[in-house]
């Protein structure tokens, strides 16, 4: 009865329910805003430029980044539709709340708006947008080796998370593409942090306590083992922390930024050790939250804090 009523509701109401369940804007919007600000600010710091990018361009950048991540969610709904139908019928698409066609329409309109907006504000931004779109299309096709990727989770992780530095090329390009043809020296460190952060979040949300594993639903604990998976997450966290410190040194960041990174690293390390000691549902949730908090902390430390401190000093 509830599903029937939901299907009869207007698309706007049904989509609002969908986003709460599958793409919660209340959580994504602040994180993506911080990510976009830090990306542009870090590029600005690398280039030694004063002030910030024009605010209309920043707003367009936040909207575009949000569209990127929403488009990835829509593509995932298509890619996983058979698995969801068989093993996760409670999700919005298999239970009939919204259709794939409706999601394509919403995503298409949002993407078209982003293209028009970027073409009007800074046409050079269409180049990294095209790169993101091309890689996302390959991801949807599973790089034409779907069966092989499905039995090689490490390759799956690496190929799919490669889109993160491509998105970051766009968000940092909100700054440097205005005047330069090539990214500023040192930006590769920031892009590497983004790549590692993407893998941390992806693994962190797919570490499962033994009783929480579900038939037909992929997890890294199932693929790599209950011990290896959290150890791999911890190793990635260490690599991300080391790279973040190197990136901080490139912009002359100080004790405050290092303390933010150090505190997030300590929290993440504790969460991983907790899962290793007792891999229950509570520990599973803790490591997933630590992944998200680490991402927020690194972008805060790499771009936002040093940029704001520089403005205050001046």
**Confidence (pLDDT) at 215:** 83
Q: 183-192, 223-232, 293-302, 305-314: lowest mean pLDDT where?
A: 305-314
Q: Where are the domains of the chain?
A: 1-180, 186-314
Contacts with 18 (C-beta within 8 Å, 6 or more apart), sequence order: 92, 97, 98, 103
- How far is CA 167 from each of CA 163, 198, 201, 287, rounded to the nearest angstrom? 6, 11, 16, 25
> Rounded mean pLDDT of 282-292?
95
Topology (CATH) of 1-180: Tetracycline Repressor; domain 2 (1.10.357)
Q: pLDDT tens digit string along 205-235?
A: 999 999 888 887 889 999 999 999 999 999 9
Percentage of residues of the chain with pLDDT beyond 70: 97
CATH fold match for the domains 1-180 and 186-314: no
CATH number for the domain running over 186-314:
1.20.120
**Confidence (pLDDT) at 1:** 42
Q: Which of 243, 183, 195, 240 is nearest to 43 (CA)?
A: 183
Angle at 58 between CA 54 and CA 64, to 5 degrees: 145
Q: Where are the alpha helices (DSSP H) in the chain?
A: 2-8, 11-22, 25-47, 55-79, 81-87, 100-121, 126-140, 146-150, 153-161, 163-176, 187-204, 220-224, 228-250, 255-277, 281-299, 305-313
Q: pLDDT tens digit string along 162-198?
A: 999 999 999 999 999 998 778 898 999 999 999 999 9
Longest alpha-carbon distance in the chain: 62
**Confidence (pLDDT) at 50:** 85
Q: What is the CA radius of gyration of the chain?
A: 20
Q: pLDDT tens digit string along 89-143?
A: 999 999 999 999 999 999 999 999 999 999 999 999 999 999 999 999 999 888 9
pLDDT of residue 68 exceeding 90 = yes
Q: pLDDT tens digit string along 3-43?
A: 544 567 899 999 999 999 999 999 889 889 999 999 999 99
């Amino acid at each position: 009865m509830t599903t029937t009523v939901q299907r009869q509701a207007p698309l706007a109401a049904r989509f609002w329910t969908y986003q709460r369940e599958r793409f919660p804007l209340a959580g994504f919007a602040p994180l993506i805003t911080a990510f976009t600000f830090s990306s542009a600010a870090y590029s600005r710091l690398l280039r030694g430029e004063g002030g910030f990018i024009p605010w209309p361009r920043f707003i367009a950048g936040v909207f575009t980044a949000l569209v990127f991540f929403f488009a990835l969610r829509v593509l995932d709904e298509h890619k996983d539709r058979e698995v969801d139908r068989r093993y996760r019928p409670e999700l919005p698409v298999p239970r009939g709340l919204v259709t794939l066609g409706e999601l394509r329409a919403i995503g298409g309109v949002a993407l078209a708006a982003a293209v028009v907006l970027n073409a009007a504000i800074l046409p050079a931004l269409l180049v990294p947008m095209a790169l993101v779109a091309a890689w996302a299309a390959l991801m949807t096709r599973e790089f034409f080796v779907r069966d092989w990727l499905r039995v090689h989770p490490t390759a799956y992780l690496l190929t799919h998370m490669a889109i993160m530095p491509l998105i970051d090329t766009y968000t940092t390009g909100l700054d440097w593409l205005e005047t330069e043809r090539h990214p500023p020296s040192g930006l590769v460190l920031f892009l590497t942090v983004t790549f590692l952060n993407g893998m941390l979040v992806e693994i962190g949300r797919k570490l499962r306590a033994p009783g929480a594993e579900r038939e037909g639903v992929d997890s890294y604990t199932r693929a790599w083992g209950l011990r290896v998976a959290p150890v791999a997450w911890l190793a990635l966290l260490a690599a991300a922390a080391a790279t973040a410190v190197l990136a901080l040194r490139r912009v002359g960041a100080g004790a405050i930024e290092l303390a933010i990174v150090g505190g997030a690293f300590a929290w993440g390390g504790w969460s991983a050790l907790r899962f290793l000691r007792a891999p229950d549902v509570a520990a599973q949730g803790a490591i997933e939250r630590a992944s998200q908090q680490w991402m927020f902390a690194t972008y805060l430390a790499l771009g936002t804090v040093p940029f704001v401190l520089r403005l205050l000093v001046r």
